[in-house]
Structures are given as structure tokens and as C-alpha cells.
Amino acid sequence: MSYEIPAPMLAKSVPEVPAPDAVAGGLSYEPKWDGFRGLVSWDGESVEIGSRGAKPLTRYFPELVEAFARLLPEPCLLDGEVVVPKGEPGAQRLDWDSLTQRIHPAASRVNRLAEETPAMFIAFDLLARGERDLQPEPFEVRRAELVDLLGGLPHPIHVTRTTDDADLARRWLSEFEGAGLDGVVAKPLAQPYAPNKRTMFKIKHHRTADVVALGYRIHRSGAGVGSLLVGLYGDDGRLFNVGAVSAFSDKRRLELVDELAPLVERDEEGDALTGAGEKSRFSAADRDSSFVRLRPERVLEVRYDQLEGHRFRHTVQFERWRPDRDPASCTYDQLDAVSAFDVGRVLE
């Protein structure tokens, strides 16, 4: 027996937790785990962990491969999230940096990190069980089958909690952020699994911050601003790169080059100065990460969801320019402080 791993079902963003009767058949709510999407196939002999993108995850998480083969009671196809918790028991939170470190070409490093920062799997859907394809079944049925199959398994395999109470889901949205979670997902109870379709709803944390424009990357087309790099000042007065703003229209990209021209730092010959940006381990090896440096004199307001370490976790969205703000006032102090919350309590 073998399973074909489908594209994962997706979610569309909505600004707030929808009411249970927002769709026919009602909604089920669950925490939105912040990790790598993983579709796990176990045919009774071998384990494969597919991802949302084209990169299979199997080789990067040997400890999960071993756990699936040892603990799964029968062949199945699971949908869930691979996450890495860190911290002492009772004070754990998800650690994105540790998770991304697991994507490494050297098997020796992967095996070492599997021991030092072991991952766990949070299952939230069941697509096949034995010979039965469950994708045509409504989520309500798939969820019941998932709990029946995995409900009694030990760590590192967990089944995410759910509720039909929208008020409780709103509380989760606030509380679980302290454990490193990303928000809340609302799933239509009556709908089948829909690969690559945005039939679920995601509600994420959105906040605004005033940041300093410190550089820009040229768009991959070679014309205009592809992304605008932004920064915040630390307690020591240093300006830290905290992320990037992108998703500009073709017209706006070209306009920004002219708007930002007076701020471009130049050498004695008048040539623009450039810097070397950080590369993601998921980016192509030959991707140009250099950027045009700007004098830190212009402030903009951006929307962001959460901070991971000293950087915004995801690409931020442009809101507006803030000519009324002094760049030196753009510090980390303006960002919301999130109360700590233990990952273990989310799994209860």
C-alpha cells in the first residue's frame, strides 16, 4: 500500500474569529501552530514527510521518522505541523530559529540537531486510514477518525485540540501567542479535504509599528524596488535590520526608486553603496541578497504579526509613511509585550 501525498488544504486570512454559523454546517476552531506544514505518509514499511513546497522534509527529521514507524498503529496519511519546542517543562514555547536550523545539507548536523532540538508533530487532519480515502469525508468525520487513531499516542505525536466555542477561540488567539503560536484556524465541519484550495479561515495577530527605511533590494525583474528593508533601534543606539516590506505593484516599485533616490548612501565618486543581506536557507543558492543602502532618515508604519528574536517573523505590510516621526524614536519599546504561555498547556 502507498499513499500519494496531495497538496495541502490552505486557509484564507480573515480579520477576526468568525461566528460558528458563518458557514453552512458550522465551524471548528483550533490553534494555528507556527512550524513546517507536514503531510505524513506511513504505509506500514516506510515514512515520508511531504511539505507545502517542493522540498520533502523526511531527511531533516529522523527522530520523527523513527517515532512514526514505531507509534502509528496502522497505515495512514496525516496532515499536521512539525514544530520544535524549547525551554524548561512548564515554560516552553515554539522556537522558529531552532526549527529552521534543521534544514541543513549535512546528515551529521541533522542527526546532532535531532538530539539537541528534537521536533514534535501536531496532527490536525487525517486524509487516509488503511485502505480508506477520507478526503471526500466532511472534516467532522475526519476529525473523529483522527482522534480515534492517534488520541492515545505519546510524545512526540500529538493531536491538536479543537473547540466549537468562538469565545474560547478568541481567548486562544490571545493566550497561545505567548507559547509561540501563530493564531487560530477555523475549519468548516461539513467540507471535504480540498487540496490547494483556501477553504479554511486563519486569524493571525496583526499589529503596527513605526520602523526606519534602511535599504532596498532591486526587484527580480531588474526594475524598481523589490523589497524595502526596515529597522529598529536597540537600547545601545544601534539600528537593527528587522525585516522587509514587499508586494508593491509594478507602478509603485518604479515610483519608489525615485522617491528614495535622495536617501541613497553614495561613495566619493557618487556611486550607490550596497550591503550584503542575510540569506534564507530556503532561498536559491544563487539568489542575490545585496541591497542599496539608505540613510536612516525616513519612517514608515508597517503591519506585522509577531516578533521572533529581534526580527519580524514574516514579511511585513506597508501602511503609510510617517514624516511626523523621528527615526530615533523607532525602537523595540513600541512593540507589544506578549505574556509567556507554556506549549504543554496548549496541548492539554
The number of CA neighbours under 13 Å toward the Cβ of 289 is 13
Euclidean distance between CA atoms 153 and 31, whole angstroms:
20
247: cell is 508586494
Q: Say which DSSP state 130 is in.
A: T
* DSSP string computed for 254-309: HHHHHHHGGGB-B-TTSPBPEEE----TTS-TT---EEEEB-S--EEEEEES-EET
CA separation for the pair 223, 279 (Å, rounded): 21
Exposed/middle/buried for residue 141 (C-beta within 10 Å: 0-12, 13-18, 19+): middle
Quote the strand ranges of 112-258, DSSP E: 120-129, 132-133, 157-159, 183-188, 198-204, 207-218, 225-233, 239-245
CA end-to-end span of the chain, whole Å?
Answer: 34
- Torsion angle defined by CA atoms of residues 134, 135, 136 and 141, in that order, rounded to the nearest 10 degrees: 50
Please name which of 273, 314, 291 lies closest in space to residue 182, comparing C-alpha atoms: 314
Is 197 one of the annotated active-site residues of the chain?
Answer: no
Dihedral (CA of 186, 190, 191, 193) sign: positive
> CA angle, corner 221, sides to 218 and 222, nearest 5?
50
Closest to 5 (Cα-Cα) out of 196, 223, 258: 196
The catalytic residue among 12, 32, 187, 251 is 32
Rg of the Cα trace of the chain?
A: 22
Residues 216, 291: Cα–Cα separation, whole Å: 5
* Active site residue ranges: 32
